[in-house]
Amino acid sequence: MTQDPNESVEAFRARARDWLAATLPRRLDRVAADTVEDDSHEWERARELQKTLYEGGFAGICFPTEYGGLGLGEEYQKAFTEESEGYELPLLLNVPSFAICAATLLETGSEEQKRERIGAAIRGEEIMCQLLSEPSGGSDLAGLITRAEPDGDGWVLNGAKTWSTSAYAADWGLCLARTDWDAPKHQGLTMFLVPLDAPGLTMNRVRMVNGSREFCEEFFDDVRLPHSSVVGEVGDGWTVASRQLFHERSAVGGGSPYISGRRSVRTRSYPAPDQVARAVGADDDPFVRELLGEYLALTTVHQQTVERVSGAITAGTLPPSASSMLRLLHAEVGHLSADLGLRIAGSAVATGDGGTPGTEGWAGIGYLMRQGGSLGGGSTEIARNIISERMLGMPREHAPDRGVPFREVRRGN
């Protein structure tokens, strides 16, 4: 349907409210099937729901109309998200497909890439993922060694990636590769759009400590790509990756305008401390209530900081690097939630029922995954460096490989 450009936010909200009530089922409170070997049904359901949103005129609210969106401001997306609370939505598609990959293509992709890939994602036909981290790279993304070499009118890709969120369910991946070994490490990179069914690409799912197989590793053996797969300019991949990391930090921190629904990332819904307190019957304990007060205060600060910083970045009064504050605060909230859940549950964390959200044992599983909040969207150490150097003007850390041709940089032992 065609969006009325003069429709007010409140009229849009009312229309969304009526459409949601008449169209979408209520969301069931259940555990995400992370440990199920075959969760393809969840992804197929997400695609169906996205198609329903598109047909109803509520998909891609903040994406431009020429790429399949509605071309509306963040206030419209916020209104829809508020009204959609409690309804079943394609939350699996939020991160990384919309909030990171589509947002990055919107800023750096060619017209063909934007029309085809963003449009297909909004229609529920395709899913995108990131192919960034490497087995030997750690947090030094620019030190990657996956290489793409020119061959005729295209490229040949070789190397490996890992920790690729939901890549097994995706159709396309944004892959950063080295194309110039004589340039310094940040200057010899190029971003590619890679079809994940390409010959020569092998993918394995990685099992986590909590049983999740959300992450993948990929191996590229002479994967051939056309020149049209280049995102941005050859040799300017770090510019694309920088915008990609900005959107990732915004998505992890809760500040992306391209997300529909309250839950933006595909993780198990580990119990908040107040849920644990009720599960163990300690919600009236004065000491526990003091701990809960600490948690609620931090979550309130987080929510208000997201709104303030996101608005300031959009208005241009804060630089994009300010998104690192959201990413860092998101990790702090997650750490405190896991720590307090463990303290409140006590010994029940090892003996309680671990199969239902809100029960004692589930808090223990959540604690095992505590450090995940320090890594997703870039490590908290990197976030602190960005804040100190780019926002506070503190001196940059010494980097012995800065300005050195990458083939001369020492790697490994």
Residue 267 has pLDDT above 70, yes or no: no
Between 224 and 363, the higher pLDDT residue: 224
Structural domains of the chain in order of their starting residue, each with its CATH number: 21-126 (1.10.540.10), 130-242 (2.40.110.10), 270-391 (1.20.140)
Please tell me the predicted confidence (pLDDT) of residue 354. Answer: 47
Please tell me the predicted confidence (pLDDT) of residue 37. Answer: 62
What average pLDDT does the segment 351-361 reach? 56
Please tell me the predicted confidence (pLDDT) of residue 265. Answer: 39
Distance of CA 40 to the CA centre of its chain: 20
What average pLDDT does the segment 69-73 reach? 96
Segment 6-15, tens digit of pLDDT: 899 999 999 9
Segment 120-165, tens digit of pLDDT: 999 999 999 999 999 987 778 999 999 999 999 999 999 999 999 9
Please tell me the predicted confidence (pLDDT) of residue 383. Answer: 87
The pair of structure tokens assigned to 177 is: 């590769």
Please tell me the predicted confidence (pLDDT) of residue 250. Answer: 83
Segment 80-126, tens digit of pLDDT: 999 999 999 999 999 999 999 999 999 999 999 999 999 999 999 99
Segment 41-60, tens digit of pLDDT: 999 999 999 999 999 999 99
What average pLDDT does the segment 238-243 reach? 96
Long-range own/partner contacts, residues 10-18 (CB < 8 A, 24 or more apart): 10/79, 12/72, 12/76, 12/79, 12/80, 13/79, 13/80, 13/82, 13/83, 16/58, 16/79, 16/80, 16/83, 16/84, 17/83
What average pLDDT does the segment 283-300 reach? 94
Q: First-to-last CA distance in the chain?
A: 59
Please tell me the predicted confidence (pLDDT) of residue 412. Answer: 66
Please tell me the predicted confidence (pLDDT) of residue 375. Answer: 78
Please tell me the predicted confidence (pLDDT) of residue 370. Answer: 84
Report the C-alpha gap between 340 and 351 in whole angstroms: 17
